[in-house]
């Protein structure tokens, strides 16, 4: 099956600064991919490149096998909810639905109205009368009603309360189940991603650190915990991503499957949060074999 997104040595520079560099990742169709990384890591830059809003300074990026920017057909298959979705403040929600209907051949008006109903958002309201969270919800409705095959969401949960975040994640799961949509969403809130996302791309300082299926990545890593004084006796073959010591205990995240290390050491798979925090806390650690390899 063609990948929904494929980037090969993709890079984007602003002046002398590389916002994203040597990014080689593939996201298979039908996945829900979490794009994580600290502030300024390059997440928005990657999403903008995939959306075709900015041009690469190096490398290439394609959607469903077509180079980005090559074809209007490919554009119709993509919806992008940017971080600060700039909806015209004087327009009503109904105006935006009219635009959506006129501009998008696959527009699903029933879906849009049903979702706005469920949110209790009257379509006569002007955008400037809505709260930040309500605006984000409207932006998401516009993106969903386009019925895209690839949905790109830049921090869709940031301005939402916990209930609304849960609701949005449920809607995204429903969308995937009904239409097989591929979703790439950036977020800082790992807990919200656990039940929904099955693919992970972690970027840090403009570089991709890990990318792949979440279940596979978790199976390839182990949390090792035991006495700090015995740390030096652990075998060198454990590829340590990061380690911490609290009091007398040492905790290591290793890139290796679970193995018996002796009675003093407890081994278990990491949670998604531990995996992400382990890598983001160690910017030089990368699980990728090399910049030319595309990691599925």
d(CA 204, CA 288): 13
User: What does the longest C-alpha to C-alpha distance in the chain come to?
Assistant: 68
> Residue 188 CB, nearest distance to ligand ATP (Å)?
7
Number of Cβ within 10 Å of residue 95's Cβ equals: 16
Subset of residues 26 to 65 that bind ligand ATP, contact rule: CB under 6 A? 37, 39-45
Subset of residues 168 to 197 that bind ligand ATP, contact rule: CB under 6 A? none
Burial of 112 (0-12, 13-18, 19+ CB in 10 A): buried
Nearer to ligand ATP, 154 or 220 (CB): 154
| 19 lines the binding site for ligand ATP (CB under 6 A) | yes
> Residue 36 CB, nearest distance to ligand ATP (Å)?
9
Beta strand spans in the chain (E): 3-14, 17-28, 32-36, 58-63, 66-67, 78-81, 150-154, 182-186, 199-204, 207-213, 222-227, 240-246, 249-254, 266-268
> Residue 43 CB, nearest distance to ligand ATP (Å)?
3
| 88 lines the binding site for ligand ATP (CB under 6 A) | no
Nearer to ligand ATP, 18 or 107 (CB): 18
| 11 lines the binding site for ligand ATP (CB under 6 A) | no
> Residue 201 CB, nearest distance to ligand ATP (Å)?
11
Q: Write out the residues near ligand ATP by the rule CB under 6 A.
A: 14, 19, 37, 39-45
């Amino acid at each position: 099956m063609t990948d929904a997104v494929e980037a090969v040595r993709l890079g984007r520079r602003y002046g002398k600064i590389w916002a994203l560099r040597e990014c080689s990742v593939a996201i298979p169709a039908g996945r829900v991919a979490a794009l994580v990384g600290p502030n300024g890591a390059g997440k928005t830059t990657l999403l903008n490149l995939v959306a075709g809003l900015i041009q690469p300074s190096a490398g290439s990026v394609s959607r469903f096998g077509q180079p980005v920017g090559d074809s209007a057909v490919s554009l119709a298959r993509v919806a992008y909810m940017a971080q600060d979705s700039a909806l015209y403040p004087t327009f009503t929600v109904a105006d935006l639905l009219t635009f959506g209907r006129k501009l998008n051949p696959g527009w699903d008006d029933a879906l849009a109205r049903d979702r706005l109903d469920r949110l209790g958002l009257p379509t006569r309201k002007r955008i400037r009368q809505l709260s930040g969270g309500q605006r984000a919800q409207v932006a998401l409705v516009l993106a969903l009603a386009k019925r895209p095959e690839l949905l790109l969401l830049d921090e869709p949960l940031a301005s939402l309360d916990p209930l609304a975040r849960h609701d949005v994640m449920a809607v995204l799961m429903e969308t995937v189940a009904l239409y097989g949509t591929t979703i790439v969403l950036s977020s800082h809130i790992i807990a919200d991603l656990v039940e929904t996302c099955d693919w992970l791309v972690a970027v840090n300082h403009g570089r991709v650190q890990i990318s792949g299926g979440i279940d596979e990545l978790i199976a390839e890593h182990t949390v090792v915990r035991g006495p700090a004084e015995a740390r030096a006796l652990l075998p060198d073959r454990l590829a340590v991503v990061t380690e911490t010591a609290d009091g007398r205990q040492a905790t290591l995240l290793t890139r290796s499957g679970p193995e018996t290390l002796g009675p003093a050491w407890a081994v278990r798979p990491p949670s998604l949060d531990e995996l992400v925090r382990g890598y983001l806390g160690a910017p030089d650690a990368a699980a990728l074999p090399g910049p030319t390899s595309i990691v599925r």
